[in-house]
Each structure stands twice: as structure tokens, then as C-alpha cells.
Structure 1
Amino acid sequence: MITLKPLVPENLPSFYQWIKDEEAIVYSLSIFQAMKTDQQIKEWYLSSINDKRNSNRGIFVDGVFVGYAGISGISSTNKSGEYFIFIGDKNYWGKGIGSEVTKMIVKIAFTELDLNRLMLTVSVPNVAGVKAYQRAGFVLEGRLRQAALRKGEFHDKLVMSILKSEWSL
């Protein structure tokens, strides 16, 4: 069973392990590529859980903390935000968790946060991510050419979004 809970300082030890795993972070936040020390990870984590423009939720599967997801850059003026997800525990990859969590966060965006638009960017090589977002109702808006540098190579990122008027339970 998948549950979403607020992130708390006690979740931090998992991030130390996940962010130091190059395979786990390859398509994730660019800042993850730069963080190398426990102190850098701790500072980022604590600032992100205290940032009121973000809605962060820990992802738990049968009580096991496996990642986090949420909405960053929430604009009450524009009623919009940017979706993100990071499943750091590789034992839980490929099990449909990303698809389910995406649907859960979209529901939170449109019901609890009263947003009108939720967008995201996804790296083109992240095929599983693209499919999960499409299953949740996100549509392609555009392409950011050579927007990410990973493993010494540039790749494009897709811009996708979903509007409240397009969403259904």
C-alpha cells in the first residue's frame, strides 16, 4: 500500500544514501549532481522541507520510506506549480509506484491546493517517467533542447502539463 506523509528530519538518512547513488539521481534534480557531502545533503533537505512554496510528501510503501514527491514553486497568484518525484530506493523501481504517486499528487494539486495547472519537465531518456506522466493525464507542451548534461552527454527535456479542467478522478 502506498501512502504519502509529510517529510520530517527523521527521513534524512535515506537521502544520504540515495543522493550518493549516481544511478538513482541520473535523471533527477541538477542540484543532486553537485551535492557530495552529508552536510550539503542535510542543508538542502532541511531547507526544502521548510520551504512554504513547496508541498513535499514522503512516499511510503507498506511503511517503508522509498522516496518523495510533491509540488514546487507553488504560485497562489497563477494557481500553478511544478510536479516532481524521486524514488530513491531502487528496490521499488519498475513496480508502478511512480504512476500511482503521480496520480495522488495531481489529486492533491487540484483538490487540496486548488491549483489550475501542474507542469513538469522530464528527461527524454527517462522513458518510464514519460509513460507514468502520460498515464496520469499530462500532455506534451514542448521540448527543451539539450537542457540536461548527464554522463557527459546532453539530452533534451520534455515539458508536460495537466490542467484541472482535463483532470478526472
Structure 2
Amino acid sequence: MLGNKLLRGNLVYLTANTIDDAEQIAKWFNDLDVSYWSNYHIRLVNTEQKQQRLKQFWENKNFSFAIRTIAEDRYIGIASLDAPDWRNRKTMLGVTIGDKRYWGQGYGSDTVQIMLRYAFLELNLHRVHLGVFSYNTRAIRAYEKIGFVHEGARREALFRDGQYHDMLIMSILRHEWEARYIYQNSQ
């Protein structure tokens, strides 16, 4: 459909994750700042554990991508779509910018746009949803700006820093995404 432009945005492009990426991914998730914003469980993992997790992820028919900068060709994070529910044409999105030097500069939003394009145009899905911690206001604003809508919350689903936090559920439907991006870009 879009050929090699499908997995390329303005700031980043996506490639398939490989088993060799496990060492870097483990480093990111062992960083307490990264885990705080992106993970239910803050715990140390080693390269072998991350390799095993990647293998399980692939065996379960999930899609996993390495996020790389266009300008420097630097590996800065991971993006994933859980194994799609093909009957209902839906999936769950996950994006982590592991390299903190690239936080707050639009790399995550660019990645989300690429993943939505892939989900809707290549996989022909109808719905993409995600979960975001209620204290992650920067991510929530970015998702809202892209067009995600709030569906609800898993109340007090996470205990962190001595208190409970909600896991907000947000989604975007294909026709909503098309109205914002396909129509606008055709003019």
C-alpha cells in the first residue's frame, strides 16, 4: 500500500525487533525512570529474561518494532501491537521511548502515528486501544491530540509511590483516524 513509507514518520522509522535488541530493552526497563512511566512492574530483568520475553511475544503473534531516529539512525525505543483479535479487528498499542534523551520531543507521538497507520491500513483493523497511567499527563495529552478518546479506567489498578493510581483506557477507531489524517492529508 504505502511500501517502505508505511513504517516511516517525520522523526522515526520502525524496524523489526530482533533477539539482539533484548540487551538494550533490558537496560531501558531496568532504568527506574523508564519503568515508572511505562511499566506495571518495576523490577530488574536481565538480557536472557528479555530474550525469552521477546520470543514469547513473537510466538503469541504480537507485532514488535524497534524505534529508530531518522536523523541519527539511533535505536531509541520499542513499539508493539498485541496479537490482533481478527474477528473484532482490534488490538492494543504499546510505545516506550527508552532513551530518555528523546523524551518530550515528539518521537513518541510520531511512533504512535506510524503504528496507527500500520494497524489501520496494513492490518485493516477497526480499533486500537491502550492503557496509560493516570499520572502520565504528558502521554495522555499526546494521545488526546492524536485523536484517542477516553473510554474509562481500571480504578486504582497500580500501587506506586505509596498510593493507588488508575489505568486509563483510551482508544481510536479507524474512521476517526481517517477523518483526521487521511482526509486532511488529501487536501
- State the aligned residue count: 167
- List alignment gaps of at least 5 residues for structure 1: none
TM-score (ref. length: structure 2): 0.83
Give the percent of matched residue pairs that are identical in Structure 1 and Structure 2: 29
Answer yes or no: is 1:53 the counterpart of 2:56: no
Aligned to 1:120: 130
The answer (yes or no) to whether the contact 2:23–2:47 under 8 Å persists in 1 is: no
Equivalence for 2:91 = 81
For 1:74-153, what aligned pairs fall within 5 Å after superposition?
Answer: 74-153=84-163
The whole-number CA distance in structure 2 between the counterparts of 1:88 and 1:58 is 11
How has the CA–CA distance of structure 1 residues 151 and 41 changed in structure 2, closer, same or farther, with 3 Å as cutoff?
farther
Looking at structure 2, the residues matched to 142 and 16 of structure 1 have their Cα atoms a distance apart, in angstroms, of 31
CA 1:9–1:37 in structure 2 vs 1: closer, same or farther (change >3 Å)? closer
Task: Identify the structure with the greater strand proportion.
Answer: 1
Unaligned 5+ runs, structure 2: 1-10, 182-187
Please tell me whether the aligned partners of residues 102 and 132 of structure 1 are also in contact (alpha carbons under 8 angstroms): no
- Cα deviation for residue 135 of structure 1 reads 1.7
Match of 1:159 among 154, 169, 181: 169
Larger radius of gyration: 2
Give, in whole Å, the separation in 2 of the partners of 1:77 and 1:29.
Answer: 28
CA drift at 1:15 = 1.3
Measure how far apart 1:11 and its partner are. 1.6
Q: Using a 3 Å threshold, how does the CA distance of structure 1 residues 67 and 143 change in structure 2: closer, same or farther?
A: same
- Give the C-alpha shift of residue 35 in structure 1: 4.3
1:16 CA displacement: 2.3
Deviation at 1:153, TM superposition (A): 2.3
Which residue is 1:5 aligned to? 15
Greater mean deviation of Cα atoms: 8-17 or 157-166: 8-17
> 1:58-95: per-residue Cα shift (whole Å, max 9, x none)?
10013100001121131111100001101111111111
Once the 2 structures are TM-superposed, how far is the Cα of residue 52 of structure 1 from its aligned partner?
A: 4.5
Runs of 4+ in 1 over 6 A off after TM superposition: none
Q: Provide the rounded CA distance (Å) in 1 between the counterparts of 2:100 and 2:140.
A: 18
Check whether the contact 1:83–1:118 (CA below 8 A) recurs between aligned residues: yes
Amino acid at match of 2:83: G
